[in-house]
Chains A and B, each alone.
Chain A
Amino acid sequence: MPKSEERMIDKDGVRIDGRKYNELRQTKIEVGILSNADGSAYIEQGKNKILSAVYGPHEVHPKHLALPNRSRLRCRYHMAPFSVEERKSPAPSRREQELSKVIREALEPSIFLEYYPRTSIDLFIEILQANGGTRCAGITVASLALADAGIPMRDLTTACAAGKVEGQLVLDLTDNEDKKGEADVPVAYMPNLDAITLLQMDGQLTLEEFEKTINLSLEGCKQLYELQKEALKVKYVAVKEEVEE
Protein backbone atom coordinates (compact mmCIF):
# COMPACT_ATOMS: atom_id res chain seq x y z
CA MET A 1 0.00 0.00 0.00
CA PRO A 2 1.43 3.38 -0.95
CA LYS A 3 1.69 6.00 1.73
CA SER A 4 -0.72 8.87 1.53
CA GLU A 5 1.90 11.38 0.42
CA GLU A 6 2.91 9.08 -2.44
CA ARG A 7 1.51 10.24 -5.78
CA MET A 8 -0.93 8.09 -7.74
CA ILE A 9 0.24 9.62 -11.03
CA ASP A 10 3.81 10.84 -11.53
CA LYS A 11 4.75 13.99 -13.39
CA ASP A 12 5.04 12.13 -16.74
CA GLY A 13 1.41 11.02 -16.40
CA VAL A 14 2.33 7.42 -15.60
CA ARG A 15 0.18 5.68 -13.03
CA ILE A 16 1.38 3.47 -10.17
CA ASP A 17 1.01 0.28 -12.20
CA GLY A 18 2.83 1.83 -15.15
CA ARG A 19 -0.20 2.58 -17.30
CA LYS A 20 -0.93 5.77 -19.21
CA TYR A 21 -4.14 7.70 -18.54
CA ASN A 22 -6.01 5.99 -21.39
CA GLU A 23 -4.73 2.47 -21.00
CA LEU A 24 -6.74 -0.56 -19.90
CA ARG A 25 -5.37 -3.12 -17.51
CA GLN A 26 -3.91 -6.29 -19.00
CA THR A 27 -7.01 -8.26 -19.98
CA LYS A 28 -7.48 -11.93 -20.78
CA ILE A 29 -10.87 -13.40 -21.71
CA GLU A 30 -11.86 -17.02 -22.19
CA VAL A 31 -15.21 -18.36 -23.34
CA GLY A 32 -16.90 -21.68 -22.56
CA ILE A 33 -14.77 -22.94 -19.71
CA LEU A 34 -17.49 -24.57 -17.60
CA SER A 35 -18.97 -27.77 -19.02
CA ASN A 36 -22.01 -27.97 -16.74
CA ALA A 37 -23.38 -24.52 -17.50
CA ASP A 38 -25.19 -23.73 -20.76
CA GLY A 39 -22.76 -20.87 -21.32
CA SER A 40 -19.77 -19.52 -19.47
CA ALA A 41 -16.87 -17.11 -19.65
CA TYR A 42 -13.91 -16.00 -17.57
CA ILE A 43 -12.09 -12.69 -17.47
CA GLU A 44 -8.86 -11.52 -15.92
CA GLN A 45 -8.57 -7.75 -15.94
CA GLY A 46 -5.49 -6.74 -14.04
CA LYS A 47 -5.95 -8.43 -10.68
CA ASN A 48 -9.69 -8.94 -11.18
CA LYS A 49 -10.68 -12.54 -11.75
CA ILE A 50 -14.31 -13.14 -12.62
CA LEU A 51 -16.24 -16.21 -13.65
CA SER A 52 -19.67 -16.05 -15.24
CA ALA A 53 -22.18 -18.79 -16.04
CA VAL A 54 -25.57 -18.84 -17.73
CA TYR A 55 -28.39 -21.36 -17.47
CA GLY A 56 -31.53 -21.37 -19.51
CA PRO A 57 -33.95 -20.40 -20.84
CA HIS A 58 -35.77 -22.85 -18.58
CA GLU A 59 -38.91 -23.07 -16.50
CA VAL A 60 -39.22 -20.49 -13.73
CA HIS A 61 -39.35 -21.61 -10.13
CA PRO A 62 -41.33 -20.42 -8.19
CA LYS A 63 -43.84 -20.34 -11.03
CA HIS A 64 -45.55 -17.08 -10.08
CA LEU A 65 -42.39 -15.21 -11.10
CA ALA A 66 -42.88 -16.20 -14.74
CA LEU A 67 -43.64 -13.27 -17.02
CA PRO A 68 -46.37 -13.81 -19.62
CA ASN A 69 -44.68 -11.92 -22.44
CA ARG A 70 -40.96 -12.42 -21.99
CA SER A 71 -38.23 -14.34 -20.26
CA ARG A 72 -37.12 -13.30 -16.81
CA LEU A 73 -33.44 -12.50 -16.51
CA ARG A 74 -32.17 -13.35 -13.06
CA CYS A 75 -28.75 -12.15 -12.16
CA ARG A 76 -26.54 -12.90 -9.19
CA TYR A 77 -23.40 -10.90 -8.64
CA HIS A 78 -21.45 -12.51 -5.83
CA MET A 79 -18.04 -11.96 -4.32
CA ALA A 80 -16.25 -15.00 -3.02
CA PRO A 81 -15.17 -14.79 0.64
CA PHE A 82 -11.53 -14.87 -0.51
CA SER A 83 -11.95 -12.22 -3.21
CA VAL A 84 -10.85 -9.31 -1.03
CA GLU A 85 -8.08 -8.74 1.48
CA GLU A 86 -10.25 -9.14 4.53
CA ARG A 87 -12.60 -12.11 4.40
CA LYS A 88 -16.00 -11.12 3.07
CA SER A 89 -19.08 -12.82 4.44
CA PRO A 90 -20.45 -15.09 1.72
CA ALA A 91 -24.00 -13.85 2.33
CA PRO A 92 -25.15 -11.36 -0.29
CA SER A 93 -24.60 -7.83 0.98
CA ARG A 94 -26.57 -4.70 0.16
CA ARG A 95 -23.89 -3.76 -2.31
CA GLU A 96 -24.04 -7.11 -4.08
CA GLN A 97 -27.83 -6.99 -4.30
CA GLU A 98 -27.71 -3.57 -5.88
CA LEU A 99 -24.98 -4.56 -8.32
CA SER A 100 -26.99 -7.64 -9.32
CA LYS A 101 -29.88 -5.37 -10.19
CA VAL A 102 -27.71 -2.83 -11.98
CA ILE A 103 -25.97 -5.53 -14.04
CA ARG A 104 -29.29 -7.13 -14.89
CA GLU A 105 -30.61 -3.81 -16.12
CA ALA A 106 -27.44 -3.21 -18.12
CA LEU A 107 -27.79 -6.55 -19.92
CA GLU A 108 -31.57 -6.71 -20.37
CA PRO A 109 -31.72 -4.35 -23.37
CA SER A 110 -29.23 -6.50 -25.28
CA ILE A 111 -31.17 -9.78 -24.99
CA PHE A 112 -34.23 -10.82 -26.97
CA LEU A 113 -36.14 -11.78 -23.82
CA GLU A 114 -39.45 -11.70 -25.71
CA TYR A 115 -38.46 -14.83 -27.68
CA TYR A 116 -38.92 -17.07 -24.66
CA PRO A 117 -42.03 -16.11 -22.67
CA ARG A 118 -42.62 -17.76 -19.26
CA THR A 119 -39.03 -18.90 -18.92
CA SER A 120 -36.05 -17.62 -16.99
CA ILE A 121 -32.44 -17.06 -17.88
CA ASP A 122 -30.21 -17.39 -14.85
CA LEU A 123 -26.96 -15.51 -14.86
CA PHE A 124 -24.23 -15.95 -12.27
CA ILE A 125 -21.27 -13.65 -11.84
CA GLU A 126 -18.75 -14.87 -9.35
CA ILE A 127 -15.93 -12.55 -8.31
CA LEU A 128 -12.96 -14.73 -7.45
CA GLN A 129 -10.58 -11.84 -6.93
CA ALA A 130 -11.52 -8.18 -6.81
CA ASN A 131 -9.38 -5.14 -7.47
CA GLY A 132 -11.75 -2.38 -8.55
CA GLY A 133 -14.07 -2.21 -11.53
CA THR A 134 -15.67 -5.60 -10.95
CA ARG A 135 -19.15 -4.47 -11.98
CA CYS A 136 -17.84 -3.45 -15.38
CA ALA A 137 -15.74 -6.57 -15.87
CA GLY A 138 -18.76 -8.55 -14.65
CA ILE A 139 -20.97 -7.08 -17.38
CA THR A 140 -18.32 -7.68 -20.04
CA VAL A 141 -17.90 -11.32 -19.07
CA ALA A 142 -21.62 -11.98 -18.50
CA SER A 143 -22.41 -10.78 -22.00
CA LEU A 144 -19.94 -13.32 -23.38
CA ALA A 145 -21.43 -16.09 -21.26
CA LEU A 146 -24.85 -15.24 -22.72
CA ALA A 147 -23.42 -15.33 -26.24
CA ASP A 148 -21.79 -18.68 -25.46
CA ALA A 149 -25.16 -20.03 -24.31
CA GLY A 150 -26.53 -19.20 -27.75
CA ILE A 151 -29.09 -16.75 -26.41
CA PRO A 152 -30.12 -14.32 -29.18
CA MET A 153 -28.82 -10.84 -28.50
CA ARG A 154 -28.99 -7.46 -30.18
CA ASP A 155 -25.36 -6.80 -29.42
CA LEU A 156 -22.58 -7.72 -27.05
CA THR A 157 -22.46 -5.48 -24.01
CA THR A 158 -19.15 -4.23 -22.80
CA ALA A 159 -18.40 -2.07 -19.78
CA CYS A 160 -15.53 0.01 -18.52
CA ALA A 161 -15.04 2.70 -15.90
CA ALA A 162 -13.18 5.97 -16.06
CA GLY A 163 -12.63 8.52 -13.36
CA LYS A 164 -10.63 11.35 -11.92
CA VAL A 165 -7.53 10.76 -9.87
CA GLU A 166 -5.43 13.65 -8.57
CA GLY A 167 -7.13 16.01 -10.99
CA GLN A 168 -6.48 13.85 -14.02
CA LEU A 169 -9.02 11.83 -15.99
CA VAL A 170 -7.96 8.20 -16.21
CA LEU A 171 -9.39 4.99 -17.67
CA ASP A 172 -10.11 1.69 -15.89
CA LEU A 173 -9.52 2.55 -12.24
CA THR A 174 -8.03 0.04 -9.86
CA ASP A 175 -9.33 -0.36 -6.32
CA ASN A 176 -6.63 1.95 -5.00
CA GLU A 177 -7.25 4.66 -7.56
CA ASP A 178 -10.97 4.44 -6.93
CA LYS A 179 -10.54 4.91 -3.19
CA LYS A 180 -7.99 7.74 -3.41
CA GLY A 181 -9.48 9.35 -6.50
CA GLU A 182 -12.13 12.03 -6.77
CA ALA A 183 -14.63 10.35 -9.08
CA ASP A 184 -15.53 7.08 -10.78
CA VAL A 185 -17.88 6.68 -13.77
CA PRO A 186 -18.78 3.12 -14.82
CA VAL A 187 -20.33 2.87 -18.28
CA ALA A 188 -21.84 -0.13 -20.07
CA TYR A 189 -22.08 0.16 -23.82
CA MET A 190 -23.40 -1.71 -26.84
CA PRO A 191 -20.84 -0.85 -29.53
CA ASN A 192 -22.76 -1.72 -32.71
CA LEU A 193 -25.96 -0.02 -31.62
CA ASP A 194 -24.00 2.82 -30.04
CA ALA A 195 -26.15 2.71 -26.91
CA ILE A 196 -25.25 3.19 -23.26
CA THR A 197 -27.04 0.76 -20.94
CA LEU A 198 -25.41 1.64 -17.63
CA LEU A 199 -24.17 4.97 -16.39
CA GLN A 200 -23.27 5.64 -12.80
CA MET A 201 -21.15 8.21 -11.08
CA ASP A 202 -19.50 8.27 -7.73
CA GLY A 203 -17.82 11.51 -6.65
CA GLN A 204 -17.88 14.92 -8.22
CA LEU A 205 -17.03 16.11 -11.71
CA THR A 206 -17.71 19.29 -13.64
CA LEU A 207 -19.91 19.01 -16.70
CA GLU A 208 -16.93 19.15 -19.06
CA GLU A 209 -15.01 16.58 -17.08
CA PHE A 210 -18.06 14.33 -17.02
CA GLU A 211 -18.37 14.41 -20.78
CA LYS A 212 -14.68 13.71 -21.23
CA THR A 213 -14.85 10.86 -18.74
CA ILE A 214 -17.73 9.21 -20.59
CA ASN A 215 -15.87 9.47 -23.87
CA LEU A 216 -12.81 7.97 -22.22
CA SER A 217 -14.93 5.07 -20.89
CA LEU A 218 -16.40 4.50 -24.32
CA GLU A 219 -12.90 4.26 -25.77
CA GLY A 220 -12.15 1.60 -23.17
CA CYS A 221 -15.40 -0.21 -24.00
CA LYS A 222 -14.46 -0.32 -27.69
CA GLN A 223 -11.08 -1.82 -26.85
CA LEU A 224 -12.75 -4.43 -24.65
CA TYR A 225 -15.23 -5.21 -27.43
CA GLU A 226 -12.39 -6.23 -29.71
CA LEU A 227 -11.13 -8.58 -26.99
CA GLN A 228 -14.64 -10.03 -26.58
CA LYS A 229 -14.93 -10.75 -30.28
CA GLU A 230 -11.49 -12.32 -30.28
CA ALA A 231 -12.40 -14.56 -27.34
CA LEU A 232 -15.51 -15.87 -29.12
CA LYS A 233 -13.52 -16.40 -32.28
CA VAL A 234 -10.79 -18.32 -30.47
CA LYS A 235 -13.38 -20.63 -28.93
CA TYR A 236 -15.59 -21.28 -31.93
CA VAL A 237 -13.32 -21.03 -34.93
CA ALA A 238 -10.68 -23.21 -33.26
CA VAL A 239 -13.27 -25.82 -32.24
CA LYS A 240 -14.57 -26.02 -35.78
CA GLU A 241 -11.11 -26.55 -37.21
CA GLU A 242 -10.54 -29.42 -34.81
CA VAL A 243 -13.72 -31.11 -36.03
CA GLU A 244 -12.69 -30.74 -39.66
CA GLU A 245 -9.33 -32.39 -39.10
Chain B
Amino acid sequence: MAKILSKRQSGQFVVPGNRLGVIEEFTPGQGTYVERGEIYAEITGHTLLDMQNKTVSVYPLVRVVRVPKVGSIVTGQVSKLQNKTAIIRIFKIGEEQLSGVFSGLLYISDVSASYVDSIYDACKPGDIIRAKVISEKNRIYHLSTADKGLGVLYAFCSHCGHMLKQKRYKIFCPECGRFEKRRVAVDFKETVS
Protein backbone atom coordinates (compact mmCIF):
# COMPACT_ATOMS: atom_id res chain seq x y z
CA MET B 1 0.00 0.00 0.00
CA ALA B 2 2.98 2.27 0.49
CA LYS B 3 3.34 2.25 -3.27
CA ILE B 4 -0.02 3.94 -3.75
CA LEU B 5 0.91 6.63 -1.27
CA SER B 6 4.21 7.45 -2.92
CA LYS B 7 3.00 7.49 -6.53
CA ARG B 8 0.05 9.85 -6.12
CA GLN B 9 -1.52 9.70 -9.51
CA SER B 10 -4.86 8.98 -11.08
CA GLY B 11 -5.70 5.86 -13.03
CA GLN B 12 -4.29 3.30 -10.64
CA PHE B 13 -6.10 -0.01 -10.56
CA VAL B 14 -7.62 -0.66 -7.14
CA VAL B 15 -9.70 -3.44 -5.63
CA PRO B 16 -11.96 -3.16 -2.55
CA GLY B 17 -9.86 -2.53 0.55
CA ASN B 18 -6.95 -0.76 -1.13
CA ARG B 19 -5.78 2.24 0.88
CA LEU B 20 -6.06 5.55 -0.95
CA GLY B 21 -4.89 8.03 1.67
CA VAL B 22 -5.94 9.72 4.88
CA ILE B 23 -8.83 12.13 5.47
CA GLU B 24 -6.40 14.93 6.30
CA GLU B 25 -5.21 15.04 2.68
CA PHE B 26 -8.36 14.17 0.70
CA THR B 27 -12.13 14.38 0.81
CA PRO B 28 -13.47 10.89 0.21
CA GLY B 29 -15.59 10.71 -2.95
CA GLN B 30 -17.55 8.09 -4.86
CA GLY B 31 -16.44 4.49 -4.45
CA THR B 32 -14.48 5.11 -1.26
CA TYR B 33 -15.09 4.71 2.44
CA VAL B 34 -13.42 5.93 5.59
CA GLU B 35 -12.32 3.81 8.49
CA ARG B 36 -10.17 5.00 11.38
CA GLY B 37 -9.29 8.19 9.49
CA GLU B 38 -8.04 6.40 6.42
CA ILE B 39 -9.65 6.25 2.99
CA TYR B 40 -10.08 2.91 1.26
CA ALA B 41 -11.57 1.83 -2.06
CA GLU B 42 -14.89 0.00 -1.82
CA ILE B 43 -15.22 -1.08 -5.45
CA THR B 44 -12.93 -2.24 -8.23
CA GLY B 45 -11.81 0.53 -10.54
CA HIS B 46 -9.32 3.27 -11.27
CA THR B 47 -8.42 5.98 -8.80
CA LEU B 48 -9.32 9.57 -9.60
CA LEU B 49 -7.30 12.15 -7.72
CA ASP B 50 -8.57 15.70 -7.98
CA MET B 51 -5.70 17.78 -6.70
CA GLN B 52 -7.59 21.06 -7.04
CA ASN B 53 -10.54 20.07 -4.88
CA LYS B 54 -8.47 17.58 -2.89
CA THR B 55 -10.85 14.72 -3.46
CA VAL B 56 -10.18 11.09 -4.16
CA SER B 57 -12.71 8.77 -5.78
CA VAL B 58 -12.78 5.46 -7.61
CA TYR B 59 -14.02 5.31 -11.18
CA PRO B 60 -15.82 1.94 -11.38
CA LEU B 61 -14.74 -0.72 -13.84
CA VAL B 62 -17.41 -3.07 -12.55
CA ARG B 63 -21.18 -2.81 -12.88
CA VAL B 64 -22.73 0.00 -10.81
CA VAL B 65 -25.31 -1.32 -8.37
CA ARG B 66 -28.66 0.42 -8.74
CA VAL B 67 -31.67 0.47 -6.44
CA PRO B 68 -34.65 2.86 -6.65
CA LYS B 69 -34.24 6.01 -4.56
CA VAL B 70 -36.53 8.94 -3.81
CA GLY B 71 -36.46 11.15 -6.89
CA SER B 72 -35.36 8.56 -9.41
CA ILE B 73 -37.32 8.10 -12.63
CA VAL B 74 -38.26 4.47 -13.09
CA THR B 75 -39.94 2.41 -15.79
CA GLY B 76 -42.11 -0.59 -15.05
CA GLN B 77 -45.02 -2.75 -16.04
CA VAL B 78 -48.40 -2.46 -14.36
CA SER B 79 -48.91 -5.86 -12.78
CA LYS B 80 -52.23 -5.39 -11.05
CA LEU B 81 -54.80 -2.81 -10.10
CA GLN B 82 -56.44 -2.69 -6.73
CA ASN B 83 -59.19 -0.37 -5.54
CA LYS B 84 -57.24 2.88 -5.72
CA THR B 85 -53.70 1.68 -6.39
CA ALA B 86 -51.65 0.16 -9.16
CA ILE B 87 -48.81 -2.23 -8.44
CA ILE B 88 -45.90 -1.66 -10.78
CA ARG B 89 -42.98 -3.96 -11.42
CA ILE B 90 -39.99 -1.67 -11.89
CA PHE B 91 -37.41 -3.03 -14.34
CA LYS B 92 -35.56 0.12 -15.28
CA ILE B 93 -34.06 2.99 -13.30
CA GLY B 94 -33.30 5.97 -15.49
CA GLU B 95 -31.87 4.37 -18.61
CA GLU B 96 -30.32 1.42 -16.79
CA GLN B 97 -31.92 -1.99 -17.03
CA LEU B 98 -32.11 -3.84 -13.72
CA SER B 99 -31.21 -7.48 -13.44
CA GLY B 100 -34.25 -8.16 -11.25
CA VAL B 101 -37.42 -6.23 -10.50
CA PHE B 102 -38.58 -4.02 -7.65
CA SER B 103 -42.24 -3.42 -6.97
CA GLY B 104 -43.69 0.02 -6.59
CA LEU B 105 -47.08 1.41 -5.74
CA LEU B 106 -48.97 4.11 -7.62
CA TYR B 107 -51.82 5.62 -5.65
CA ILE B 108 -54.71 7.28 -7.48
CA SER B 109 -54.05 10.71 -5.98
CA ASP B 110 -50.50 10.64 -7.34
CA VAL B 111 -51.53 9.80 -10.92
CA SER B 112 -52.09 13.34 -12.10
CA ALA B 113 -52.29 16.88 -10.77
CA SER B 114 -55.98 16.97 -11.64
CA TYR B 115 -58.73 14.74 -10.26
CA VAL B 116 -58.81 11.17 -11.55
CA ASP B 117 -62.08 9.27 -11.28
CA SER B 118 -60.76 5.75 -11.21
CA ILE B 119 -57.36 4.09 -11.33
CA TYR B 120 -58.67 2.26 -14.42
CA ASP B 121 -58.66 5.60 -16.22
CA ALA B 122 -54.95 5.93 -15.58
CA CYS B 123 -53.49 2.58 -16.58
CA LYS B 124 -54.36 -1.06 -17.14
CA PRO B 125 -52.49 -4.27 -16.35
CA GLY B 126 -49.70 -4.88 -18.86
CA ASP B 127 -49.06 -1.22 -19.64
CA ILE B 128 -45.51 0.08 -19.55
CA ILE B 129 -45.37 3.17 -17.40
CA ARG B 130 -42.76 5.74 -16.46
CA ALA B 131 -42.97 7.16 -12.94
CA LYS B 132 -41.02 8.96 -10.28
CA VAL B 133 -40.25 7.56 -6.84
CA ILE B 134 -41.72 10.02 -4.33
CA SER B 135 -41.32 8.13 -1.07
CA GLU B 136 -39.93 4.97 0.46
CA LYS B 137 -42.19 5.05 3.51
CA ASN B 138 -43.60 1.85 4.99
CA ARG B 139 -40.97 -0.14 3.07
CA ILE B 140 -42.76 0.48 -0.23
CA TYR B 141 -41.66 2.54 -3.19
CA HIS B 142 -44.46 5.07 -3.71
CA LEU B 143 -44.59 6.30 -7.28
CA SER B 144 -46.09 9.33 -8.96
CA THR B 145 -46.96 10.16 -12.57
CA ALA B 146 -48.13 13.69 -11.86
CA ASP B 147 -45.10 15.33 -13.44
CA LYS B 148 -44.52 16.15 -17.10
CA GLY B 149 -43.03 13.34 -19.15
CA LEU B 150 -44.38 10.69 -16.80
CA GLY B 151 -47.20 8.27 -17.50
CA VAL B 152 -48.03 5.36 -19.76
CA LEU B 153 -45.51 4.72 -22.56
CA TYR B 154 -47.04 1.63 -24.13
CA ALA B 155 -50.65 0.54 -23.70
CA PHE B 156 -52.63 -2.50 -24.76
CA CYS B 157 -56.31 -2.84 -25.59
CA SER B 158 -58.28 -4.28 -22.71
CA HIS B 159 -60.56 -6.00 -25.19
CA CYS B 160 -58.27 -7.62 -27.75
CA GLY B 161 -54.78 -6.95 -26.40
CA HIS B 162 -53.65 -5.03 -29.48
CA MET B 163 -51.24 -2.16 -29.00
CA LEU B 164 -53.04 1.15 -28.66
CA LYS B 165 -52.44 4.20 -30.81
CA GLN B 166 -52.86 7.88 -30.07
CA LYS B 167 -55.23 10.19 -31.95
CA ARG B 168 -55.12 13.80 -30.72
CA TYR B 169 -55.82 13.50 -27.00
CA LYS B 170 -57.41 10.08 -27.12
CA ILE B 171 -55.97 6.66 -27.54
CA PHE B 172 -57.72 3.93 -29.46
CA CYS B 173 -57.31 0.36 -30.61
CA PRO B 174 -56.69 0.08 -34.37
CA GLU B 175 -58.00 -3.51 -34.28
CA CYS B 176 -61.42 -3.11 -32.67
CA GLY B 177 -61.85 0.65 -32.71
CA ARG B 178 -62.36 1.06 -28.96
CA PHE B 179 -61.35 4.29 -27.31
CA GLU B 180 -59.64 3.96 -23.94
CA LYS B 181 -58.50 6.24 -21.19
CA ARG B 182 -54.91 6.40 -19.94
CA ARG B 183 -52.62 8.80 -18.17
CA VAL B 184 -50.30 8.98 -21.19
CA ALA B 185 -46.81 10.39 -21.20
CA VAL B 186 -45.92 13.15 -23.67
CA ASP B 187 -43.75 10.66 -25.56
CA PHE B 188 -46.39 7.90 -25.76
CA LYS B 189 -45.09 5.27 -28.13
CA GLU B 190 -47.30 3.56 -30.69
CA THR B 191 -44.84 0.94 -31.79
CA VAL B 192 -42.04 -0.92 -30.12
CA SER B 193 -38.87 0.70 -31.38
Contact = CB atoms under 8 A, between A and B. Distances in A.
Interface residues of B, number: 29
B125 interface: no
Contact of A156 (B16, B99, B139): B16
Interface in A145-192: 147-156, 190-192
A229 interface: yes
B112 interface: no
Given A56-B99, A151-B65, 4 more contacts: A68-B139, A110-B16, A150-B43, A150-B65
B65 A147 contact: no
B44 A236 contact: yes
A110 B102 CA distance: 25
Interface in B29-53: 31, 33, 35, 40, 42-45
Contacts of B45: 236
B63 A149 contact: yes
B116 interface: no
Interface in B75-100: 98-100
B67 A116 contact: yes
B42 A112 contact: yes
B1 interface: yes
Contacts of A191: 17
B55 to A, nearest CB: 18
B100 A152 contact: no
19 contacts: A55-B100, A58-B99, A58-B101, A58-B102, A59-B102, A68-B139, A110-B16, A116-B65, A148-B44, A148-B62, A152-B16, A152-B31, A154-B42, A155-B40, A156-B16, A156-B17, A236-B13, A236-B62, A239-B61
A205 to B, nearest CB: 30
Contacts, number: 91
Interface size class of A (residues with CB under 8 A): 35 or more
A66 interface: yes
B126 interface: no
Contacts of B19: 192
B16 A150 contact: no
B22 to A, nearest CB: 14
A239 B46 CA distance: 13
Contacts of B33: 112, 152, 154
B99 A229 contact: no
Contacts of B31: 152
A119 B67 contact: yes
A88 interface: no
B15 A229 contact: yes
A154 B62 contact: no
Contacts of A39: 62-63
Interface string A214-242: 00000000000000110011001101100
Contacts of A132: none
